[in-house]
Chains A and B, each alone.
Chain A
Amino acid sequence: MSPARLHVFLGVMTALAFVGSLLIGPAAIGLDQTISALFGGDVGTVALIVKEVRLPRAILGLTIGATLGLSGAVLQGFLRNPLAEPGLIGVSGFASLGAVLTFYTGVSAAFALALPLGGIAGALISVMLLRGLAGRDASPLTLILAGVALASFAGALTSLALNFAPNPFAALEIVFWLLGSLANRSMDHVYLAVPFMLTGWVMLAFLGRSLDALTLGEDAARSLGYNLGRVQTMLIIGVSLSVGAATAVAGAIGFVGLVVPHILRPYVGHRPSALMPASALGGAVLLLCADIAVRLAAPDRELKIGVLTALIGAPFFFILVWRMRKDIS
């Protein structure tokens, strides 16, 4: 499949998954009812469910999935590390922590934008810490080790913050922030997070060419006239904006950024600039489908979407580790 065909295929899949997300739920609502609810002036119960319950969930599934897929592709390309992914290197974990601190202190209740800004600040801090911890020319293993250390540290601090939150549901909510969920998210969350994610995507979209050049090595990229310092700055801000805002409204959803670029890379001739849009679409498909599966599998239980993405992603992680082991030996 050529990259162009792959993009069309993934675009169609994304559209189908998005429609599926609007159609599937505990309340039985048909296709015709859904369409008239979305586009007609309908104000009844059905319209309320479609527009205010399912639509925000579908929009967030699409945009957050795309954010995670895109960020995974960009991070793997820039760091030339097959294991780089927002969840594994601690970006999602710190974004969660940032959001938790604004949410449970009541700051975000007074000033709604504090929630995504907290997530973004957390993500930025994690990237700074990662650079400091792993050093500039970190080997893939050093980088991942540093990332895993940061991720567990962020998880511990998030749990600690929630243990001190004056809130009887804290124990349950730790699960949300560590694993992620799209349940009962509303249009308010869409308005809070999507603008930041879009801004992040635009910044990352400019990096395609330079990441292509980077596959030839840093020196080659420099000699081709790419300013790697600027590329890094754009990448850090782009990833922090999109992953930070995504995590602030849906918790830390892992493994999407790891799995999707890996599945798609062979189809785009290992070119980061072609992998980025493909991964964004692939991430959207994966998260939308995972969210549908969560609704179908256990509608009356609180199955978190992150449990599902981890179930899909962890075996992938095993395979990658096994491959790296072979390469080393």
Chain B
Amino acid sequence: MLSWPQFAQIIRGSVIAGLIGIIASPGAIAQANRIVSLNLCTDQLVMLLADRANIASISALAEDPAISAYPEMAAGLHLNYGLAEEVLALEPDIVVTSSFGLGATTFLLRALGHEVIEVGFAGSLGDIRRNIETVADAVGLPTVGAMMAAQFSRGLALATVDAGEQRPFAALYWANGFTSGAGTLPNGVLEAAGFRTVATELGINGVQELPLELLITAEPDILVVSEIRQTSALANEVFSHPALERAFASKPTAFIPNSLWNCGTPAVLDAFAQLAQVRNRWVEDQSGVK
């Protein structure tokens, strides 16, 4: 199967060669030549959609394999730290960033006459399609965007599970004892992949602290952990809390890399694939018990 970067390269190549672009309206928007992205999530979409040669800069976070799904694509590109000064020096045609954070930079760049496209936070699977199209339009590649969005939707339809009764009860636990509830992508992915979640059961909205006590009393079937860094942080201590270790001593723990679902990118389909394995193993164990 083609990886997303490969897929993107092929459709981009065909569009540019004029094989697919015929349907695009005459005088279609030209591809931007100097694209600057300031946000990890827009970085990844820009790298997938646009030609490398046209990317003037992406944020430094895009290079971090712990949070970026395509760190290898970021190698060699100019990296920025979200400062207006850096952007001005790059003389961009278009700046894409998230509508969340960096408000001061966005404001300043706009005041200085630059076009800045803000892309919304992906809080659901549906938002991913929207974000792919928004970024594609911004960089002048609507056809490539439409194809990638359609391909993503097909993948999503295949990955979505109607699990019926066989829905393992999962607790997603982040560093610091946080969980992601309603209106967050990871919770949406878990549910679409055939899990019930503790966050939904407890009525948690957004990313909130889930007290260890409530996690343990909920008695989930599976603990889903998504970010473990090999650095010392108080935030990680919750994972080695004796109460948590003992509560899940005889239950499966799944690790889904944060980079797969912290942004709305096609990489969430990889999270689906990993979760499907976790769920199948659980279903097998259940039938073995019975």
Contact = CB atoms under 8 A, between A and B. Distances in A.
Interface of A: 25-27, 45, 48-49, 52-54, 103-106, 108-109, 165-170, 172-173, 176, 183-184, 186-188, 299-302
Contacts of B280: none
A173 B241 contact: no
B241 A52 contact: yes
Contacts of A48: 216, 243, 246-247
Contacts of A183: 177
A106 B208 contact: no
B214 A26 contact: yes
B223 to A, nearest CB: 14
Contact of A27 (B204, B214, B235): B214
Interface stretch (B30-38, B70-78, B225-233): B225-233
B27 interface: no
A186 B234 contact: no
B237 interface: yes
Given A48-B246, A168-B229, A184-B241, A301 B234 contact: no
B162 interface: no
16 contacts: A25-B213, A45-B247, A48-B243, A48-B247, A52-B241, A53-B241, A167-B232, A168-B229, A168-B233, A184-B177, A184-B212, A184-B238, A186-B242, A186-B243, A300-B204, A302-B176
B232 A165 contact: yes
Interface residues of B, number: 26
A53 B216 contact: yes
Interface string B242-271: 110011000000000000000000000000
Interface string B166-197: 00000000011100000000000000000000
A166 B175 CA distance: 15
A26 B217 CA distance: 10
Contacts of B235: 167, 169, 172-173
Given A26-B211, A48-B243, A186-B243, A167 B229 contact: yes
B215 to A, nearest CB: 9
B243 A300 contact: no
Nearest to A188: B242
Contacts of A302: 176, 209
Contact of B209 (A105, A167, A170, A300): A300
B243 A53 contact: yes
